Amino acid sequence: MTSSDIDAARLTLALNELRLPAIKALWPRFAEQADKEGWRAARLLSALVEHELAERDRRRIERHIGQARLLPGKTLDTFDFTSVPMLSKAHINAITAGDSSWVGKGDNILLFGPPGVGKSHLSSAIGLALIENGYRVLFTRTTDLVQKLQQARRDLALESALAKLDKFDLLILDDIAYVTKDQAETSVLFELISARYERRSMLITANQPFGAWNTIFPDPAMTLAAVDRLVHHATIFEMNVESYRRKAAQMAKGSGRTTKTATASDNNAD
Ligand code: ADP
Ligand code: MG
């Protein structure tokens, strides 16, 4: 065994210990190139360290995407902005940019519109773009989250459940209107909204305007208080267009394709 073999073996062990997998994988090739091309030591070191950092970023984003429970395949690239003329792609891009100041300040986004216009698609896509820009996001159907929080309240753990959600810069509550009557009575949703107010952001989708939100909270006063907090620092988008699903189904019909499932799903709560 030569002394450079011993160095290599030691280095591999040390890089494992230090958890530097990118450097571990790359150093033999980089070192060979450096020897051949006469790189200065600083160049070799910085090249290796940069790869480790890039790899670490990639892994972190991958982990955050895994935790976010976004809708698969729904991206801004696959969102057809021409079907929602009141939304500008530039505005949405600004909202998802790396320096999205609204997220840091706990501002909210509210997306209104009838079923099938792309509220869920767009909100999941906004979530994905924000994660790629370094933010942490959780996408959830409102009724699923309310159910979890109700269980937490029964276990006397509501406060810690709400605190756990703090790690997400943005909480996407899809379909707030589908909160059921027994869910409304416990008011955990109100406590969530109060807990995040002016601190952590929310993106809420709804197919009913505020006037129809009385079934979501235990009483009108609480509805008013919740709406007040949500809109205080909020951007509101009204997507009042024809259902994208129905439109797509009609186009398919025109081209002779079957449309049964596509139109039927328009009647479903989603
Ligand atoms: P909503 O949440 O408003 O009911 P969805 O986001 O579930 O609507 O959209 C219904 C279906 O139509 C989804 O498959 C979605 O990807 C698609 N869709 C809706 N709007 C658009 C759009 N503007 N561009 C591309 N696909 C869209
Ligand atoms: Mg939806």
Which atom in ligand 1 lies closest to the alpha carbon of residue 115? Answer: 4
Protein residues with CB under 6 Å of any ligand 1 atom: 74, 78-80, 83-84, 113, 115-121, 244-245, 270
Which residue has the CA at smallest separation from atom 12 of ligand 1?
245
In the prediction, which pLDDT does 267 show?
40
Q: How far is the CA of 200 from the centre of ligand 1 (A)?
A: 26
Alpha-carbon torsion 136, 201, 239, 96, what sign?
A: negative
User: Of 207, 245, 246, which is best to mutate to test ligand 1, by the most ligand atoms within 8 angstroms of its C-beta?
Assistant: 245
| Contact status, residue 203 vs residue 111, Cβ threshold 8 Å | yes
Longest dimension (CA), the chain: 80
Ligand 1: which of 92, 120, 121 to mutate, judged by most atoms within 8 Å of the beta carbon?
121
> How far, in Å, from the CA of 243 to the mean position of ligand 1?
8
pLDDT of residue 264: 37
pLDDT in tens, the chain (270 residues): 788 889 889 999 999 999 999 999 999 999 999 999 999 999 999 999 999 999 999 999 999 999 999 999 999 999 999 999 999 999 999 999 988 889 989 999 999 999 999 999 999 999 999 999 999 999 999 999 999 999 999 999 999 999 999 999 999 999 998 888 888 888 999 999 999 999 999 999 999 989 889 899 999 999 999 999 999 999 999 998 888 888 888 877 776 554 444 333 444 444
What's the gap in Å between 49 CA and the centre of ligand 2?
Answer: 43
Q: What angle do CA 97, 98, 100 make, to 5 degrees?
A: 65
- The pLDDT score that the predictor gives to residue 45 is 95
pLDDT reported for residue 206: 96
What confidence score (pLDDT) does residue 263 get? 39
Of ligand 1's atoms, which has the minimum distance to the CA of residue 79? 24
Going from the Cα of 217 to the center of ligand 2, the distance in angstroms, rounded, reads 20
- CA dist., res. 261 & res. 154, Å (int): 40
E strand map for the chain: 108-112, 137-141, 170-174, 201-206, 234-238
For residue 136, how far is its CA from the centre of ligand 2 (angstroms)?
Answer: 21
Residue closest via CA to ligand 1's atom 9 equals 118
List, as own/partner pairs, every contact residues 151-155 make where C-beta atoms lie below 8 angstroms and the sequence separation is at least 24, other chains included. Answer: 152/188, 153/186, 153/188
pLDDT at 129: 97
Closest ligand 1 atom number to CA of residue 117: 3
Instruction: Enter the pTM of the model.
Output: 0.86
Q: Measure 167 CA to ligand 2 centroid, in angstroms.
A: 24
Distance 118 CA to ligand 1 centre (A): 3
